Amino acid sequence: MNRKRKMTILLLCVLILASMFIQSLAADSQKPNDKRYFSMENNTEVIIEKDALHIPQEYVDQIAKENPNTLITISEYVKAVPEISPRFVIATVITKKTITKPKYVYADYFVASVAKGSTFTLKVEWSKTLSFSVTHSDAKTPLQLNDSITKKYSVGATFTGPPENSSYNSRSYRVRFFAEDGTYEGYRVHDTGQTLNISGTFRNPIEYSAYTIDSKVN
């Protein structure tokens, strides 16, 4: 009887220690400033790190919806900024600006894929740029278009796979760019006082987010 009781107590101690170990691992995997979301709809967990805390919730929901049964970590969210340009010799006045395609995913780029417990070191620089475009170059400033926006990983950058204790066996690194498109009308004023009507289209870089997807790959 005493032996059975001792075995029961020993088993309980082992279970308690195992539980504490798992909780410790879970705590280590999340930094103090991170945020966590869980989508019950498609069984996806999202971790938002401190450099991406201001990412709109709609983007978080979109990425989660596109990647069911995964663990997503959003590590960076960067907005484009307007260029500060010198004054033009020819004044350009915009009288009408119309957004024909509100903020949308312009491109989603693959960076690297790393297996569980592995590390990958970049041997060639990885760089992607979303540039502004406008029919008349002198309309960029009055249209308040942003500069081009670039995400770059330098040679030597390291990428890690899911930890050994993870239920996922692969981690993909990706970068997603956002833009908006539109049209405009206006006129140019020449130094002679003459005016010339103009119209055209533009693409405005908005922002990008860098994120990872942990998944099970057969």
Distances (CA, A) of 102 to 41, 137, 180: 27, 21, 5
Q: Is the pLDDT of residue 215 over 80?
A: yes
Rounded Cα distance between 18 and 38, Å, is 24
Residue 181 is encoded by which pair of tokens? 């498109």
pLDDT of 85 reads 54
User: Tell me, what DSSP letter sits at residue 7?
Assistant: H
First to last CA, the chain: 48
Over residues 170-208, the pLDDT tens digits come to 999 999 999 999 999 999 888 777 888 999 999 999 999
Given a cut of 80, whether residue 106 has pLDDT beyond it is yes
Share of the chain above pLDDT 70, in %: 81
| pLDDT tops 50 at residue 22 | no
